[in-house]
Structure 1
């Protein structure tokens, strides 16, 4: 195993408590958002950077912290997965390879290149989050299915993006599944979570093997995200997804402006 890439300075005594509160709070906010409308990365990623973690490590750590959101959602969906086993196998292979390429590109690019790309990536993810529902409705009205080669290329590109950054990956996946005719939306959502789990798992494995994760920070954000997921699950019926989506979009625009 390679030496860890985590090089941030050790915080002072008073700063430790503040960092824990910030990371836990970001995890809670991210967990609530993911349980209702998605967009948890908009909270976890900037919080990790705010406590002094380098951009590449912050991104890898954020990916690990929110990974359970996709994986746990697959519990109880065995029948849907079994009925679409071929689609999961074919898409899973593409997403495994593409995510590995994206994660490798992230590590190779380094903090300078990735840091410069952060505002553009956040702006792209914000646009996806804002226009995702309308895009999916538009695609659902289309009756033409792209040729297999085009679908494979789109899935591979989405997987590379997922391994490199990942915010908004679920929206991209839902759009791709809609284009390929996966219906109803409940089935598409299960397959989306399955493919996202594959992509994130492969990326996290490479991040772990290359020492690109701050495990202490990841544990704090993970705990917060788990609590937020429970809270979000209970609030899902009370909080309008569109209202929460508007908040996430506002946060995304603010982050993009800040990093620009």
Structure 2
């Protein structure tokens, strides 16, 4: 249906842009897919795949900022992301659909509350680069969450990188997009094996997310994040209420 396709494309474009700037894209893609008739469990997996190109284009747009980082191992970061994404995706695959239907409004609410409290987390930064062991533990934990449920992933990663000593917000944003892309890529392979992907919706949304991710990343140096954040919090609160009513 053309109306559904238009809604999915616009939701993916805005989600890709939001993820590149502040996170919260899943607050748009998940409800849009459910509105289009995709079951919540499959909508979570399909929306995650749809956002993958946006993460990639966002990371590419901020590659120069990441190149300036010192004392931070990208290979270690990548390995932790891939392992965590796999574990989280397997956990989602093993979750019965009726159980996920009950859990999803609570996950949305928790992610919304995290967004509301995010400024306090991000400003609590470390003054020196963290040890490799700490980086592995923190990124692995966040990647497991991201492989299971994408909502709030961006803000968790920004807070984590701030605590790990990445003081440059643009570099942290680039790392956030890179880790999100890696854990999403491996998680999507698990979703595909489990038959959770609705391909027509996913492909259409991937086009929107790619353009939105690049545009959002390029604009991230100029857009006041605090305004976007409160819009995301409002959207998350509404979506949480909608899903609580559906249960």
TM-score, structure 1 as length reference: 0.82
Greater Rg, structure 1 or structure 2?
Answer: 1
Is 1:133 matched up with 2:112?
A: no
Aligned to 1:5: none
Q: Residue deviations 1:78-106, cap 9 Å, x none? A: 68348558622112212211111110110
Q: Residue deviations 1:224-246, cap 9 Å, x none? A: 33344466467667753222221
Partners in 2 of 1:160 and 1:230 — Cα distance? 25
- Correspondences of 1:63-102 after superposition (within 5 Å): 63-75=48-60, 77=63, 80-81=66-67, 87-102=73-88
Aligned to 1:217: 201
Is 1:109 matched up with 2:95?
A: yes
Shift of 1:111: 1.3
- Is the partner of 1:53 in helix, strand or coil? coil
- 8 Å CA contact retained: 2:166, 2:172: yes
The size of the alignment, in residue pairs, is 243
Alpha carbons of structure 1 residues 253 and 62: separation in structure 2 relative to 1, 3 Å? same
Shift of 1:32: 3.5
Which segment is superposed worse, 116-125 or 22-31?
22-31
Structure 2, unaligned stretches of length 5 or more?
Answer: none
Is 1:39 matched up with 2:14?
A: no
Partners in 2 of 1:234 and 1:75 — Cα distance? 10
- Is the partner of 1:74 in helix, strand or coil? helix
Shift of 1:31: 3.0
Q: Which of 123, 126, 129 pairs up with 2:109?
A: 123
Q: Residue deviations 1:80-135, cap 9 Å, x none? A: 34855862211221221111111011011021111111111111211222222221
Aligned to 1:206: 190
Which segment is superposed worse, 56-65 or 234-243?
234-243
Partners in 2 of 1:79 and 1:204 — Cα distance? 27
Shift of 1:75: 2.2
Q: CA RMSD in A?
A: 2.7
Structure 1, unaligned stretches of length 5 or more?
Answer: 1-15
- 8 Å CA contact retained: 1:126, 1:253: yes
Shift of 1:59: 0.8
Partners in 1 of 2:150 and 2:22 — Cα distance? 16
Which segment is superposed worse, 211-220 or 184-193?
184-193
Aligned to 2:176: 192
Q: Which runs of 4+ in 1 moved over 6 A?
A: 144-148
Q: Which of 13, 20, 25 pairs up with 2:5?
A: 20
